[in-house]
Amino acid sequence: ALHAGSRVLLPIRRSFSTPWSHVRSHLHSTKPPSAPLPPPPPPPPSSHAASARFTPAFTPTTRRSGSIGSGVVAWYLGSIEARPLLTKSITAATIYTVADLTSQMITLPPEESLDLIRTLRMASYGMLFSGPSLHYWFNFISKVVPKKDVVSTFKKMFLGQAVYGPIINCIFFSYNAGLQGETIPEIIARLKRDIIPTIKSGLIYWPLCDFITFKFIPVHLQPLVSNSFAFLWTIYLTYMAGLKKPGVKVITSS
């Protein structure tokens, strides 16, 4: 330091800039800003979300039909529990009505009209005889042979073909003939003509149906399943019942 009178003189430092310093500052000032990073891609939709996305297009109809179907089944099962005899009788009457109409449409020539009186006879038989008899028969047979193994199932099938089948077929032909105004000799003649062919046909049709019914179906639903199998059988029965009455020889005393 230099003294000049009473003052102290300090040396002054100067910064000398090189020619490249201006270039560096210019480059730094003109460098474009760095571009922002792109956002991460969205995660792929899960299978649950994808299914939820497409479900509304089908859900209303599917749920509606499913709820209607389950509602009808629940109502029918509730009716069986609350009024088993009446429910099974009405079910049998409905099946016999549809079966008889089907039988007539198959067998009648085009120029003839449906015999609604005959259909009413068949419906009344299902209501008064078929439905109630099946209800009591299946309850009885489940107590006599309670097991559901193969041997017990064959026992039930044998009892059905040997006991229930012949009895209910005789009742069917006699009831139908009586409502048509046939006399007792004519009814007996009809039974002699029709009952044996009917039993033989039943031995062909019913064993498999009975096996499924006794083996896999609960007792309270067995009449419904049996009546469902009986639809085709009833078409055959109503055809047999619609045959002309057999001739009866009248013996006169001289």
The one-letter amino acid code at 71 reads G
Residue whose structure tokens are 């078929």: 130
DSSP 126: I
DSSP 181: T
DSSP 55: G
Q: What share of the chain is helix, strand, coil (3-state, %, to 5)?
A: 75, 0, 25
Render each residue's pLDDT in the chain as its tens digit; 254 residues.
445 455 555 555 555 555 555 545 554 555 555 556 666 666 655 544 444 444 444 455 556 656 676 788 889 889 988 999 999 999 999 999 999 999 899 888 888 899 999 999 999 999 999 999 999 999 999 999 999 899 999 999 999 999 999 999 999 999 999 999 999 999 999 999 999 999 999 999 999 999 999 999 998 888 888 878 888 888 888 788 877 777 655 444 44
State both tokens at 229: 């199998």
Query: What gap in Å lies between CA 144 and CA 131, rounded to an integer?
Result: 20
What is the SS3 assignment for 160? helix
- CA 213 from chain center: how many Å? 16
DSSP 180: T
Residues near 53 by beta carbon (within 8 Å), at least 6 away in sequence: 45
Query: What gap in Å lies between CA 148 and CA 212, rounded to an integer?
Result: 11
Q: Where are the domains of the chain?
A: 84-244
Residues near 209 by beta carbon (within 8 Å), at least 6 away in sequence: 226, 229
